[in-house]
Structure 1
């Protein structure tokens, strides 16, 4: 998917943003949950998808339908897991800071 960028920097940024997106989707579905809940769900999802890549199915699906690569990736990389954690921790901290500011202004 060269139109979306390629190379190691693009891979890292893509992984971080993918994980942040998963966090935000879960947080939108569970708006009253503390930040640890969407963070935990997002980490479990991202790590599960990464290990699912070991089956080879995501790569096959991506070859048949290229947009599937955006959801499932293609091949396992332990570096991706670190990127996911970094993205989720970053967005969860931002979410907690925004929630703190909102509570402070509401008081």
Structure 2
């Protein structure tokens, strides 16, 4: 039980943020369309990866986590150049959500925007927590 409390104390807020990010991504798709929804989804994809990176390595500094999340996003986007994600997306909605289907150069910029936004939010939350505990 003590280990679970420790896990939750360190990773709980990140797990909640990951869930909220998924909800935001689904919400954007439900209320918006076109490029706005697509690029918001790209940025939120990287925000989710940021949270997943922190779940695995909670002691990472925000900009290090942002670099890893952006790097993973870029790797997935570049993987789309092989055509494999497109083939998988035709057979699986999950593969389409996780890997996308076709390479789109502007996505690379939106992944950076998502990573930077996540790092800035993380820094802001950390500063607020420090103010509350001092």
Q: Secondary structure at the match of 2:61?
A: coil
Measure, in 2, the Cα distance between the counterparts of 1:85 and 1:102: 26
2:57 maps to what in 1?
A: 30
Bigger helix fraction:
2
Q: What's the offset of the Cα at 1:3?
A: 7.0
TM-score where L is the length of structure 2: 0.73
TM-score where L is the length of structure 1: 0.90
User: Where does structure 1 differ by over 6 angstroms across 4 or more consecutive aligned residues?
Assistant: 2-5
Measure, in 1, the Cα distance between the counterparts of 2:30 and 2:113: 25
Q: What's the offset of the Cα at 1:5?
A: 6.3
* Count of matched residue positions in the alignment of Structure 1 and Structure 2: 106
Q: What's the offset of the Cα at 1:8?
A: 1.3
Measure, in 2, the Cα distance between the counterparts of 1:48 and 1:4: 29
Structure 2 unaligned runs (5+)?
1-28
1:64 maps to what in 2?
A: 91
Change (3 A) 1:5 1:104: closer
Measure, in 2, the Cα distance between the counterparts of 1:86 and 1:101: 22
Change (3 A) 1:3 1:69: farther
Higher relative contact order (CA 8 A, sep 6+): 1
CA RMSD, 1 decimal:
1.8
